[in-house]
Amino acid sequence: MIDCERFLRCLSDYLDGELDEDIRAEFEVHIRTCSSARAMIHTMEQTIVLHRTARGRALPTGVKSRLREALEKCMDCSE
């Protein structure tokens, strides 16, 4: 079973579609049962969308630090 620590290590591979089928299934169970994991996935997906649409534009002041804080908070995984 995937825990939050393994979830974070696999997150990039999951979003890139590079997890094998068994690990992907475990990963998706974790997403359904962990609100922190769902928040992390949502944050990462939104970050990817924003990055793709904002290429070449500088981030507004403070965005980088707020994003880092949000990701660290999501990694807490305390339900």
Structure tokens at 10: 């696999």
Average pLDDT (1-16) is: 83
Please choose, from the candidates 62, 1, 57, the residue with its C-alpha nearest in 3D space to the C-alpha of residue 28.
1
User: CB atoms < 10 A from the CB of 40, how many?
Assistant: 22
Residue found under tokens 């475990």: 26
**How much is the pLDDT for 75?**
65
For the question of whether the overall pTM of this predicted structure is more than 0.85, the answer is: no
For 34, list phi and psi in degrees, rounded to 5: -125, 115
Residue found under tokens 């997150």: 11
Please choose, from the candidates 1, 66, 62, 73, the residue with its C-alpha nearest in 3D space to the C-alpha of residue 31.
1
pLDDT (tens digit per residue) in 18-65: 989 998 998 899 899 999 888 888 888 888 888 788 776 777 788 888
